[in-house]
């Protein structure tokens, strides 16, 4: 018996008792649990599920216990993930706080900031958004123009962010601001946190081709930001921003690994039917699906290997770009195949039979995977320069 078997048995028993039946199986995107000050839950059981997992620290299993996390080792966290998969548990909490801000605070935050912000992130009590991109600063993120003027014990922030996902629903923002306009562009940026209810913050939703949109434009008009909410060193926010981006990119890459929903082969089989040998009766599509599934299996192993390297502090900082690039391209391929497998039915945009065009809307959503968190072209530049060390153009 491996050392982890008692932990597995204990975890399995706890999940059997604590993961409600309503929280197992597929969950639509718009039913996901995001927590926050004004949370919405599909059912009361979903609230319970978030609260129970949060109280145990299992919404952030590997964070230290003193900050509300689960305190699990990497191996234990893998066991927990596999037990959650086994019972098809829905995510107890989706959270930019867990995926992005938390790791940055653990690395750069003061003790006071960690004590203040991390436990409420774990419990899903505060919902965060990301104020990075601006109309003139996307791939060239260090070109941000949002200004923070020093007023002694606080700053006054003015400027505009764009593509701020869920800004209209978020409680707090982690934000890049320019604190030294005279310095070279990477050296005059600071990383600050503030409440979205602060006077002078406004948001305006943006609509997308899929008909749904998480996006907002976010405007700052003389917004007061307390100095205690600076993360890391003044004017060195670029270091914090990059650390956070590595976590964001790994998280987006993981979409390629997870897949979610019914296996593509099964969807195709239902739509097209089987040949005399029980195989998908469409050899070309069958080959493309097999190729994608093999690549996905290899990618899962690569993710696991990199995860171990990160934990052992042996990972190259640019490796997240490789995961982000490959995972998002893989996810796009998977959804292309789902469209191909679904035939004309997959194009249906509205109606009960198609769950209001879920296949088509999900496919369109994946187009954004290779843009959000840094475009595929930019990831390829990073891979070429930092991992492959190719000569610059
Ligand atoms: C779904 C989604 C969610 C997002 N959520 C957020 C959020 O919550 N907060 C936030 O701050 N931002 C968010 N973003 C914004 C995202 O970070 C930017 O869209 C992204 O960084 C690209 O910037 P841009 O849109 O300005 O494109 P641009 O930088 O203008 O790029 C345009 C094109 O030029 C190419 N290009 C640019 N520079 C180079 C180069 N050096 N070499 C080769 N090609 C290049 C790009 O690859 C792209 O194809 C989100 C984006 C999406 C799609």
Ligand 1 center to residue 196 CA distance, Å? Answer: 23
pLDDT tops 60 at residue 58: yes
User: Rounded distance, CA 204 to CA 154, Å?
Assistant: 26
pLDDT tops 60 at residue 196: yes
Would you state the pLDDT for residue 377? Answer: 96
Nearest residue (CA) to ligand 1, atom 3: 372
Partners of 130 in the β-ladder: 174
Q: What is the average pLDDT across 100-118?
A: 98
Q: What is the average pLDDT across 93-105?
A: 97
N residues, the chain: 393
Burial, 125: exposed, middle or buried (Cβ in 10 Å; 0-12, 13-18, 19+)? middle
Q: Which residues contact 199 (CB under 8 A, 6 or more apart)?
A: 222, 223, 224
Structure tokens, 44: 């009361």
Nearest residue (CA) to ligand 1, atom 32: 139
Name the residue with higher pLDDT: 169 or 271: 169
* Residues with C-beta less than 6 Å from any ligand 1 atom: 129-133, 138-139, 161, 163-165, 368, 371-375, 377-378, 381
Ligand 1 center to residue 375 CA distance, Å? Answer: 5
Ligand 1 center to residue 126 CA distance, Å? Answer: 26
Ligand 1 atom nearest residue 373's Cα:
17
The answer to whether the beta carbons of residues 157 and 177 sit under 8 Å apart is yes
pLDDT tens digits, residue range 292-334?
Answer: 999 999 999 999 899 888 888 898 989 999 999 999 999 999 9
Mutate to test the pocket of ligand 1, among 29, 139, 237, 385 (most ligand atoms within 8 A of CB): 139
Ligand 1 atom nearest residue 135's Cα:
26
Ligand 1 atom nearest residue 137's Cα:
26
User: Rounded distance, CA 55 to CA 327, Å?
Assistant: 31
Nearest residue (CA) to ligand 1, atom 30: 138
The answer to whether the beta carbons of residues 237 and 191 sit under 8 Å apart is yes
pLDDT tens digits, residue range 76-89?
Answer: 999 999 999 999 99
pLDDT tens digits, residue range 226-244?
Answer: 999 999 999 999 999 999 9
Clarify whether 248 is annotated catalytic: yes
Nearest residue (CA) to ligand 1, atom 52: 372
Mutate to test the pocket of ligand 1, among 97, 138, 210, 244 (most ligand atoms within 8 A of CB): 138
Ligand 1 atom nearest residue 131's Cα:
11
The answer to whether the beta carbons of residues 130 and 173 sit under 8 Å apart is yes
Nearest residue (CA) to ligand 1, atom 4: 372
Name the residue with higher pLDDT: 215 or 29: 215
Would you state the pLDDT for residue 210? Answer: 64
Q: What percent of the chain has pLDDT over 70?
A: 97
∠ at Cα 329 (364, 378), nearest 5°?
105
Name the residue with higher pLDDT: 393 or 333: 333
Catalytic one among 76, 248, 257, 329? 248
Closest CA relative to residue 372, chosen from 68, 89, 173, 163: 163
pLDDT tops 70 at residue 259: no
Closest CA relative to residue 119, chosen from 51, 65, 80: 65
Closest CA relative to residue 354, chosen from 279, 259, 267, 257: 267
Would you state the pLDDT for residue 358? Answer: 83
Mutate to test the pocket of ligand 1, among 132, 372, 373, 376 (most ligand atoms within 8 A of CB): 372
pTM, full prediction = 0.93
pLDDT tops 60 at residue 56: yes
Would you state the pLDDT for residue 323? Answer: 93
The average confidence (pLDDT) of the chain is 93
Q: What percent of the chain has pLDDT over 90?
A: 78
Q: Which residues contact 98 (CB under 8 A, 6 or more apart)?
A: 59, 60, 121, 122
């Amino acid at each position: 018996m491996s050392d982890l078997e008692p932990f597995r048995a204990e975890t399995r028993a706890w999940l059997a008792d604590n993961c409600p039946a309503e929280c197992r199986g597929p969950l639509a995107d718009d039913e996901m649990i995001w927590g926050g000050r004004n949370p919405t839950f599909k059912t009361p059981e979903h609230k319970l599920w978030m609260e129970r997992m949060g109280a145990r620290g299992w919404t952030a299993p590997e964070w230290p216990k003193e900050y509300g996390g689960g305190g699990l080792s990497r191996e234990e966290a893998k066991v927990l993930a596999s037990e959650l998969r086994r019972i098809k548990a829905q995510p107890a909490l989706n959270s930019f706080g867990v995926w992005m801000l938390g790791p940055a605070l653990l690395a750069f935050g003061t003790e006071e900031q960690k004590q203040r912000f991390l436990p409420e992130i774990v419990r899903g009590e505060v919902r965060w958004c990301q104020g990075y991109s601006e109309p003139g600063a996307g791939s060239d993120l260090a070109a941000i123009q949002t200004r923070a003027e020093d007023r002694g014990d606080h700053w006054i922030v003015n400027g505009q962010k764009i593509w701020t996902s869920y800004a209209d629903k978020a409680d707090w923002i982690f934000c890049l601001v320019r604190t030294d306009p005279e310095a070279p562009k990477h050296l005059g940026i600071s990383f600050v946190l503030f409440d979205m209810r602060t006077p002078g913050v406004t948001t305006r939703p943006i609509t997308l081709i899929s008909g749904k949109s998480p996006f907002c434009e976010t405007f700052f008009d003389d917004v007061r930001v307390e100095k205690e909410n600076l993360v890391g060193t003044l004017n060195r926010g670029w270091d914090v921003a990059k650390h956070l981006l590595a976590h964001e990119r790994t998280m987006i890459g993981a979409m390629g690994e997870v897949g979610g929903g019914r296996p593509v082969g099964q969807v195709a089989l239902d739509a097209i039917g089987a040949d005399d040998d029980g195989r998908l009766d469409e050899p070309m599509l069958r080959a493309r699906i097999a190729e994608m599934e093999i690549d996905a299996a290899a990618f899962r192993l690569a993710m696991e290997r990199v995860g171990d390297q990160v934990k052992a502090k042996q990972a190259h900082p640019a490796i997240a770009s490789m995961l982000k690039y490959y995972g998002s391209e893989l996810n796009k391929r998977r959804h292309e195949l789902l469209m191909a497998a679904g035939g004309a039915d997959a194009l249906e945009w509205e109606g009960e039979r198609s769950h209001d065009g879920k296949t088509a809307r999900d496919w369109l959503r994946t187009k954004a995977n290779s843009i959000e968190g840094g475009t595929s072209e930019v990831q390829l530049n990073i891979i070429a320069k930092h991992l492959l060390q190719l000569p610059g153009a």
